[in-house]
Structure 1
């Protein structure tokens, strides 16, 4: 480089810095940082940034200056089709090339070309569709700006359906899947569960009532990272039969009658409700514990509940190592139902039950007194919960699966 660094670094007033700018740009091409290049040629770093990035119109009336450095085009295809690509598509389509041939020519996915021809073609008076590249470019650019009106905000019928199902404590994913299943031919009522969440969380557009957020399982109007589940330790010394000794037929859920159990705890750990979930159908039963959650109370409530079921639907119970199961051996002796215990800090070994405790918290929020709920209310909650569709059941409800199961199991 034949540029000579200035010896006098004092301000020299306004002057053309053509030599300095050329030297600065050459140093930048060689990999120098902005600070190093500016220090070498003797200019302020802000001047170097203006040379490299250009200057917008300023309040003092000075004209804007475009960036000095040329913009290097992307090496590969961009996310969106360009005007030149649309011209190429039009030429090949006019020649009768297939979608896959056009995609291979442009290095695009065939779905991209198929979608482009379907969305942006123009129909003439006779109804025939022709692909016109400039009109397609205009349509694509008009469709691209964000944000767009939500489907829920534009469709009153869809909004009413979602509000009713949220009031019934269905989750957004349950609503989304069930609407597609119940209205297969009405695409205007099909909506992604994320769209429902956004309508609840982004209240600036007023798509759903804010109080509906309380119907969500979490009860929150915003997302929150999950917390680590509290770990439990063994609290009784009577010999336990561990989950590793459970029959293999339980793991694949092919045979009905194997249950998972747990407790949900109320305010100040002073009240509780027992839960039982059948592994095959996800059918839920609730244990009324008005006198506490001691080992005797849980034993009696659990025995009374399982006696209401047919014998072929009471094959085993899987529980964690909580102290409430201290009299598990007495329960087994009274009902002839074995109890298997999970390993410490392994809630996933009772996955069906853990996944059910979340929806139950919509009816019995944390930090509330659970002793105020009567046995009749617990039964009503179980009926509503068993009437909600489940993703793991192909969007059937547990009650529907149990109804199908009972005739074939007798």
Structure 2
């Protein structure tokens, strides 16, 4: 997980007036105080302090921040500074240092500004947040945690501050605390009907990786892909499910079917492998369609394997045509059988050939019969058939009925995700 990046500090500081146009460097300034009588007071800075600070302000306007710091440093030689003069110097020095990229000096200056007690509450809240961000950028994560936590405590929930805080836990290698905080944020978002941020979910995945928690990784990856479906997330998710212990090799064709519906098949080998598996399973129309997609994608029909790919395509085309000729006879045969597997397979073949109504009816009737071989696979295929037919509600219902520990239920769960959150 790469380090998150946020707005440069000088942008944050400009929000509270720490920029080159800040009109505080005349020789008088009204100071913030707690009561009305104090608010009426006017405090001054002496010319030997005001003059270099005004010069520093002009240099900051020209983005000459190091030169501005040098001008501000001239005030260090002035003795017997008033509290207001010290506050004004620290405030300007903090702005210049932050803009110059000197996080340590900026942090030191702003802490002195806060300690002065002269800031309005709104300004102080912004500076506390800015301090947390400064320490974060300086990779001083213990200090970042201290100030970001204070910001959240004093100012309430702020998504950016909260993200920086959790990121600080993560980067300081406090993975258990980062995990706990991230899980709490996600739960709070979901309870409030908000979508957890992609950054939050990706950070939790990184925590699972660091903890070697494969179950947590998969759970969070599914959540990430649910809210932010992307091909790269799908590819990782399918790979993780397929590599789980106990995943059955008989489901490889179903893996290809899910890939085709999400990340899409990416290589000539994937297209030809899926087509061959579909032929072996008795679904030549599916094999033919897969190969046609490979040719349309420009991945088949050229190179050293072009002749072999053409033979496979010719085989699938002929088998699909022959299958159509015998389907009526096959339908009568499987309908009279007490066992529903043949009826389910024929129904799926009809669906892949575009005959949705007839195929789905056969599959539904077949599942009602006793003795169905691999009934959970049949339910998965019924869901896929419903999805191909555009019947999404029925597809989800079928997928949710699938059970098992050999990977079939995992694939069904991912199909529900695909139906509800298709890849853009």
Bigger relative CO (Cα 8 Å, ≥ 6 apart): 1
Structure in which a larger fraction of residues adopt helix: 2
Structure 1 length normalisation: TM-score?
A: 0.28
TM normalised by structure 2 equals 0.27
More strand by share: 1
